[in-house]
Structure 1
Amino acid sequence: MAEFTPGVEIATETPTIEVTVGPNNPMPIGRQTFRLVVVDDAGNASQADQVVIIIADQDAPTAVIRGPRLAPFGRSFELDGSASFDAGGGRIVRYVWTYMGPVT
């Protein structure tokens, strides 16, 4: 596993590497470029090859709805969705409310 920093080379003796990301070191959403140069046993370096990886937030946000346990008949009350969150780093931009009817 490797924590990549832009412009800093990481040398390995194996042909694969795991890009380590997580909550403490997220890779920014968007297009990210990685480069590979290989060196043979005589010390000859290849031309660089590159790949563009698109980092996308593909995790659904979590809806959290709060409301009073008891509301008086014939009176208004408030529902609150402000505790909803997106663990993938996105922003909640719309709240879609639906009354589902009485509990059966």
Structure 2
Amino acid sequence: MPTIQSSDLIVNQKISAAAPDALLNITIDSQSPLQTGSYEFQLVVVDDSGNNSNPATVKITIADDQAPTAVIDAPSRVGFAKDFSLSGQRSIDIGGELTKFVWTLIKTP
């Protein structure tokens, strides 16, 4: 079974395997994952007489389906009538970029 890293995929590069090896594994390079969007793959099979099938194609959409992680850094205690700050600076989104920080006071004494 052939295995190729996502960073090594090249448009129109053929990846062959002898039968009965009908599986292609694509491993994701964590330093260079596939961008979000639509990808199209094609398969042609060849018989023992050298005849090629018509191409079969499939579209795969890479989607950012991982929610970001909110992290709040704040003092645990603040003096009466003193200013303080809340920081969401360590919040992360693995599949993209953070575009908004929405703060809400949800409880009072």
Fold shared per TM-score above 0.5: yes
User: What does 1:1-104 align with in structure 2 at a 5 Å threshold?
Assistant: 1-3=3-5, 4-13=9-18, 14-88=21-95, 90-101=96-107
Q: Could you tell me the percent identity over the aligned residues?
A: 36
Once the 2 structures are TM-superposed, how far is the Cα of residue 21 of structure 1 from its aligned partner? Answer: 1.2
9-18 or 30-39, which deviates more: 9-18
Letter paired with 1:97: W
Secondary structure (helix, strand or coil) at the match of 1:42 reads: coil
Query: Structure 1: which 5+ runs fail to align?
Result: none
Letter paired with 1:7: N
Letter paired with 2:79: P
Cα distance in 1, alignment partners of residues 29 and 82 from structure 2: 46
1:22–1:60: structure 2 CA closer, same or farther, 3 Å change rule? farther
Once the 2 structures are TM-superposed, how far is the Cα of residue 57 of structure 1 from its aligned partner? Answer: 0.7
Once the 2 structures are TM-superposed, how far is the Cα of residue 43 of structure 1 from its aligned partner? Answer: 1.3
Q: How many residues of Structure 1 are paired with residues of Structure 2 in the alignment?
A: 102
Secondary structure (helix, strand or coil) at the match of 1:19 reads: strand
Letter paired with 1:101: K
- With normalisation by structure 2, the TM-score equals 0.81
In the TM superposition, structure 1's runs of 4+ consecutive aligned residues that sit over 4 Å from their partners are none
- With normalisation by structure 1, the TM-score equals 0.84
Tell me which protein shows more strand as a share of its residues. 2
1:16–1:10: structure 2 CA closer, same or farther, 3 Å change rule? same
Once the 2 structures are TM-superposed, how far is the Cα of residue 102 of structure 1 from its aligned partner? Answer: 5.5
